[in-house]
């Protein structure tokens, strides 16, 4: 088989990855047992509306839930609304000048989990208080001397988010309602504990069986559904059904709550069901092998 034929075969395999189930998880870095920001929605293959799995989730609950998906070998695509890694390409390291700075994403997850081991509820407070780590973060009342100022450092895919008219935040900025650093750090603890159980794209090759985790940006789903810039949250049933229809979904059953977290999860699950079959999203042009192992990528960013 020639090079072109092999490439075509690979594109066909990616275009039909065979996912039967799609989960979108709106994440939270709040250092409490059951953060209000955690929400999980589930869509099955077809056009039925996603269902909100409405319960008071903890991060430990979600870890156990994902472990169960792996146990059952469910062919599920799971989107996590957090950054899977920190910027690396801009400085050649996650934490320049720190001898413990990891070489790749899985090593970063392991470091965050190890240094946060004493934190309850899979929080990561201890990591950002570490004397070397804290130098790189902007925290409330404490801006590290190695935080570069301005908006902070960005990953290559976050520049891609900006090109799509989104508004990413640096993972090193832990200040403000829209910051994603705390969520990302707590998510990394979960990723470490799932290592070897569930493939994480693009750090791992796309497996042929079982569940796969990807990073998502819930505002991207809203934008692709037609929500105009400056308005990114859905808080009523009619708007949610309008957005779902953009992804070929039937209207949803009434939710017990129409807050940002619930509607973000429901709409993102519908988008994942459509996006999974788009080959270009699995092979974005700017995603190099080096980025795939260090910074990762936001699924859906071209």
Condensed to tens digits (0 to 9), the pLDDT of residues 41-63 reads 999 999 999 999 999 999 999 99
Residues of the chain with pLDDT > 70, as a percent, come to 93
Which whole-number Å values give the CA distances from 154 to 28, 87, 126, in the listed order? 20, 6, 23
Alpha-carbon span 26 to 82, nearest angstrom: 8
Mention every residue, 6+ apart, whose C-beta is less than 8 A from residue 294: 85, 88, 89, 94, 103, 104, 105
Stretch 54-73: mean pLDDT: 97
In this prediction, residue 227 carries a pLDDT of 87
Predicted local distance difference test score (pLDDT) of residue 1: 40
Is pLDDT at 6 greater than 60 in this prediction? no
Return d(Cα 204, Cα 207) in angstroms, integer.
8
Q: Average of pLDDT values for 280-294?
A: 97
Compute the average pLDDT of residues 246-269. 96
How many angstroms from the chain centroid is the CA of residue 236?
24
pLDDT, one tens digit per residue, over 229-254 is 766 689 899 999 999 999 999 999 99
**Contact partners, residue 242, CB within 8 Å, separation at least 6:** 225, 226
| Predicted local confidence at residue 13, as pLDDT | 43
């Amino acid at each position: 088989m020639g090079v072109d034929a092999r490439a075509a075969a690979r594109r066909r395999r990616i275009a039909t990855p065979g996912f039967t189930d799609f989960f979108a998880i709106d994440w939270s870095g709040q250092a409490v047992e059951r953060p209000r920001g955690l929400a999980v929605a589930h869509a099955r293959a077809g056009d039925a509306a996603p269902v909100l799995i409405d319960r008071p989730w903890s991060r430990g609950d979600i870890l156990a839930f994902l472990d169960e998906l792996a146990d059952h070998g469910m062919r599920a695509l799971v989107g996590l609304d957090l950054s899977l890694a920190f910027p690396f390409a801009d400085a050649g390291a996650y934490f320049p000048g720190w001898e413990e700075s990891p070489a790749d994403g899985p090593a970063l997850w392991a470091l965050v989990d190890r240094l946060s081991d004493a934190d309850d509820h899979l929080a990561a407070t201890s990591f950002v208080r570490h004397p070397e780590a804290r130098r790189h973060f902007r925290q409330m009342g404490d801006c590290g001397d190695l935080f570069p100022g301005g908006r902070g450092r960005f990953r290559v895919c976050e520049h891609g988010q900006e090109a799509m008219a989104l508004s990413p935040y640096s993972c090193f900025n832990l200040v403000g309602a829209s910051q994603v650093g705390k969520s990302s750090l707590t998510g990394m603890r979960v990723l470490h504990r799932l290592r070897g159980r569930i493939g994480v794209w693009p750090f791992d090759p796309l497996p042929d069986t079982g569940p796969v985790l990807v990073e998502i940006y819930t505002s991207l789903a809203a934008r692709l559904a037609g929500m105009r810039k400056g308005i990114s949250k859905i808080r009523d049933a009619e708007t949610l059904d309008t957005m779902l229809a953009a992804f070929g979904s039937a209207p949803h059953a009434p939710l017990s709550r129409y807050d940002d977290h619930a509607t973000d999860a429901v709409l993102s699950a519908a988008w994942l069901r459509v996006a999974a079959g788009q080959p270009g999203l699995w092979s974005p042009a700017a995603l190099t092998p080096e980025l795939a192992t260090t910074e990762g990528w936001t699924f859906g960013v071209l």
